[in-house]
Chains A and B, each alone.
Chain A
Amino acid sequence: MRYSGFKVFLEGLTGNRGWKPAWRDPEPKSDYDVIIIGGGGHGLSTAYYLSKVYGVRNVAVLEKGWLGSGNIGRNTTIIRSNYMLPGNEPFYEFSLKLWEGLEQDFNYNAMISQRSILNLFHSDPQRDAFVRRANAMMLAGADAELADEAQLRRELPFLDFDNARFPIKGGLFQRRGGTVRHDAVAWGYARGADAEGVDIIQNCEVTGFQIENGICKGVQTTKGAINAKKIAVCVAGSSGRVMAMAGMRLPIESHVLQAFVSEGLKPVLPGVITFGAGHFYVSQSDKGGLVFGGDIDAYNSYAQRGNLPVVEDVAEGGMAIMPMIGRARLLRSWGGIMDMSMDGSPFIDKTHIGGLYFNGGWCYGGFKATPASGYCYAHLLAKDEPHPVATEMRLDRFKRGHLIDEKGQGNQPNLH
């Protein structure tokens, strides 16, 4: 069924009796060409592009809970492509271009809103670094716009420009950045993949891999054994747990990242604002709540909740840059588990085990990557070679010394 304004109108006249479930609820078959483990944003987008673009039809997505129960529904919904390094920026720009055509492509309203993203700077050296990043972005085909203090005072008069510690001297805009209704991304991809014949199997936890002579031939699940030619792991947040079942240690630590939303307010924020120096970033949802976050809690965790010191740190960061939020009440806070990799960049790669593929290590930046991650993973699964924009996202890059370290922090995952 195609969704359209006309369809909404027609159903409204006929008592909304014609709507059907957006995807089937099938039992698993015994054999598939490709099994994707993980029914989050990346797993579902992989299934969607694998079937729709690469023509692989006999595909199953196994999800241990319900669709979109992980980080696709726990993030702060920001899309952007303001990275710098050659191994990253073309990939994220590819992702942003996919976002721009996504709703028409999968015929689902994901409320993609290119309301811009702004990174603030506070000093001349930081400005120089942002100019360099802006140039790298433009070389990869992305948009970037440097704004000085006078321009920001006109556009965002509520910021604390004369902050004693971090006076605002300007910022780097990416006008094509913005926000998306994140749950709708999971639903849209699920519906699109299902329409292409992908079996989406919920409440089906993988409990082991069937590995014979170095080749992975299937998985054991809570719904029985399932065989497949290719097994694609896509479980960022649980990568350590799942890959341990295949006997692999990863260049990843799991950390918890908290996010927050205030009570609904009248429109005050035109776009996304990030205050990197103070560990704070914020946007305003269409319902009016301020959606904001800061740093990870910085210790290994698989608990989807954090602790109070980071709540305090984020609130202080917000007050420092935007004192007007002081009277807004915090409505909710929650946590999601991040695959923090050793250089802050992700993996889309084969493993040393035949037929077993790995996608993970997205740190706190997986949401914006959802379309390109799925597209590039599907490319790898279909053709057994990396997509041209994802050639650097290899598992062995640390051994080769080819790190993609945007922040230059080295192998300290909680600092990326």
Chain B
Amino acid sequence: MIINHPLLGPRDAAEFVYLGDESLIERPDPNAPDAADRFYEYGYLRDNPAGEHKELWYHEQGDRSWLVVTRNTITHQITHVELARDVARAKGRDR
């Protein structure tokens, strides 16, 4: 698989480390009254779709940026790549 890095251009997926579902960006509020339940769901439950999947890849053997890759889990086709930083900021995070 080739991941089209937004800054570095096309890179071999072997340069990257895979973490998992993009939802891992959205860490629950530890002070919420139902924090235990929300951390359980955050830490352990996954949508695990067959089809389009947004997921986190880390460019460990490159510029060490985190990417959000949109990839089809049935065909392995990658359709979109963004910097995780931009995705997190768009969700209202400061970094």
Contacts and interface: CB of A to CB of B under 8 A. Distances in A.
A207 interface: no
B13 to A, nearest CB: 7
A250 to B, nearest CB: 7
A116 interface: no
Contact of B46 (A238, A241, A251): A251
Given A300-B73, A309-B14, A398-B43, A241 B50 contact: yes
B48 A252 contact: yes
Contacts of A238: 50
A251 B45 contact: yes
A359 interface: no
Dominant secondary structure of chain A at its interface with chain B: mixed
Dominant secondary structure of chain B at its interface with chain A: mixed
B53 A399 contact: no
Interface in A281-308: 298-303, 307
B45 to A, nearest CB: 4
B48 A254 contact: yes
B70 to A, nearest CB: 12
B44 A240 contact: no
Contact of A301 (B44, B45, B76): B76
Interface in A204-248: 238, 240-241, 244
B20 A253 contact: yes
Contacts of B1: 307
Contacts of A251: 44-46
A253 B13 contact: no
B46 A253 contact: yes
B76 A303 contact: yes
Interface residues of B, number: 25
Nearest to B53: A300
B49 A240 contact: yes
Contacts of B49: 240, 244
A241 B18 CA distance: 21
Contacts of B53: 300
Q: Which of A238, A299, A303 has the most CB of B within 10 A?
A: A299
Given A299-B55, A300-B73, A414 B45 contact: no
A240 B51 CA distance: 12
A369 interface: no
Contacts of A249: 41, 45-48
Interface string B69-91: 00101111000000000000000
Contacts of B12: 309
Contacts of A414: 18, 20
Interface string A400-414: 000000000001111
Nearest to B18: A299
A272 interface: no
A243 to B, nearest CB: 9
Nearest to B50: A302
Contacts of A302: 50, 73-74
Nearest to A410: B43
B76 A300 contact: no
A241 to B, nearest CB: 5
A254 B73 contact: yes
A342 interface: yes
19 contacts: A240-B46, A244-B49, A250-B45, A250-B48, A251-B45, A252-B48, A253-B20, A300-B20, A300-B21, A300-B53, A300-B55, A302-B73, A307-B1, A307-B76, A309-B12, A399-B40, A399-B44, A411-B43, A414-B18
Interface of A: 238, 240-241, 244, 249-254, 298-303, 307, 309, 342, 398-399, 411-414
Given A240-B48, A303-B76, 4 more contacts: A298-B18, A299-B13, A300-B20, A300-B55
Question: Which 3 A/B pairs are nearest by Cβ-Cβ distance?
Answer: A240-B48, A309-B14, A398-B44
